[in-house]
Amino acid sequence: MKKRKQIVWVGDSAFKFLTSTDKSVLELYDNYLLLYERTDTVDLSFCQKAGISYTFLDEFYLLGERQYLVDHLKLPVSEYLKDKTKAFPEGLFVGDASEILFQAIVDACFDGQVIGNAAEMEKIINILEERQPNLHQFSFMVRRDVLFLSPALRFGDVLEEVEASKQHAMNALEAVLVAEDDLPDLNRFLRHYTEGAEKAVTMDERIKLIRGDKDQTIV
C-alpha cells in the first residue's frame, strides 16, 4: 500500500493556516508541526485534539548559543527532518519564508541537495542503504514539495530573504508553490494535493506553481 503524503507545517504562520484547515482535509495526510519555541500564546489544543505531532525546535535540539539565524538553525532542523521525514517518501513543507525557521528548512534541503535530481538521489540512497541498512540520513531530501505562504513580515530586506529562499527551493525541491496575498484557507488546494501539485494548483488559482520538478518549469 502506498504511503500517505506527509505535510510538515513550519512556523507560526503555517500553524495559523493549519488550525484553519478542515479536519477532513487534514486527515488525508500525516501532519507534523514544527515551531521554534513554546510561548504563552501558542494554543496546542487543536493539535492534541486532531492528533497532530508537534515539536518545538528548541526542545528537540539543544540550541545553546545558537541564535535565531538561518546558518545557526540549519543543523538542528536537519536533525529534525532526518528524524521526522524518513518514513515518508513524499511530502510538502508549508511555511512563510519571512520566518527564519522556514528559511532554515529550505536551506537545509538546499545544502543536502548537492547531488543532481531526486531520482538520482533515490538511486544513491538505495545503493548506500544496501551497504548500510540503517542509513536514512539523506532520505529527507527525496520528493519534497514546498508551499510558500504569503510573507507576514514585509520589510525590504526580509522580502529579499524570501526571494532568496524561493531560489534555493527551486534548486533543491520538487514542486515549488507560492500562495498569493489573500489566501483564506488551504482546503481546496490540499483536498487535491493528494493527486499531485499540478492537479492541486488547477483547483485554486491563488496558488501558483513556479517550478514543477527538476527537469521542467511550469509558470
Partner 1 sequence: MKPDSNIILNEIIRRHGEYIKYVISLYFKQKEDREDVYQEMMIHLMGKIDDFHSQGNYHANLKSWLGVVVKNRCLDILSHNRNEFLKMEDIMESQRQEDQVINDDPGGILKIFQTTKTIDIEEMLMKLSERDRQLIILRYFKKYSINKIDKALGLTNSAVYIKRAIAKLKDIVGADRFNEVFDGYEIE
Using CB under 8 A as the binding rule, whether residue 3 contacts partner 1 is answered as no
Question: Per CB under 8 A, does 66 bind partner 1?
Answer: yes
Selected from 60, 125, 164, 191, the binder of partner 1 by CB under 8 A is 60
Q: Which of 28, 90, 136, 150 binds partner 1 (CB under 8 A)?
A: 150
# chain residues binding partner 1, by CB under 8 A: 40
DSSP symbol at 94: E
Antiparallel, parallel or unpaired: β 144-148 and 176-179: parallel
CA end-to-end span of the chain: 33
Report in angstroms how near the CB of residue 201 gets to partner 1 at its nearest. 18
Contact flag: residue 36 with partner 1 (CB under 8 A): yes
Q: Enumerate the β-bridge partners of residue 144.
A: 91
Question: Which position among 28, 50, 128, 153 is part of the footprint of partner 1 (CB under 8 A)?
Answer: 153
Instruction: Find, among 128, 206, 216, the residue nearest to 174 by Cα.
Output: 216
Among 50, 158, 164, 203, binds partner 1 (CB under 8 A): 158
CB 203 within 8 A of CB 140: no
Q: Does 59 bind partner 1 (CB under 8 A)?
A: yes
| Dihedral angle sign, alpha carbons of residues 157, 163, 167, 173 | positive
**CA–CA separation, 89 vs 118, rounded Å?**
11
Of 3, 20, 43, 195, the residue at the interface with partner 1 (CB under 8 A) is 20
Q: Which stretch binds partner 1 (CB under 8 A): 138-146, 148-156, 167-175, 195-203?
A: 148-156
User: Side-chain half-sphere of 135: how many Cα atoms within 13 Å?
Assistant: 12
Question: Please, what is the angle between helix 100-112 and helix 156-172, to 10°?
Answer: 30
Using rule CB under 8 A, residue 46 touches partner 1 = no
For partner 1, the closer CB: 2 or 49 = 49
Please state the closest distance from residue 116 (CB atom) to partner 1, in A.
29
Name the burial class of residue 82, with classes exposed (0-12), middle (13-18) and buried (19+) by CB atoms within 10 angstroms of its CB. middle
Rule CB under 8 A: choose which of 182, 205, 216, 219 binds partner 1.
182
Going edge to edge, which strands form the sheet with 207-211?
53-56, 30-35, 6-10, 91-95, 144-148, 176-179, 207-211
| Site string (93-132) toward partner 1, x via CB under 8 A | -----xxx--------------------------------
Residues within the interface to partner 1 (CB under 8 A) = 12-13, 16-17, 20, 36, 38-39, 41, 55, 58-62, 64-69, 72, 79, 83, 98-100, 150, 152-159, 182-185
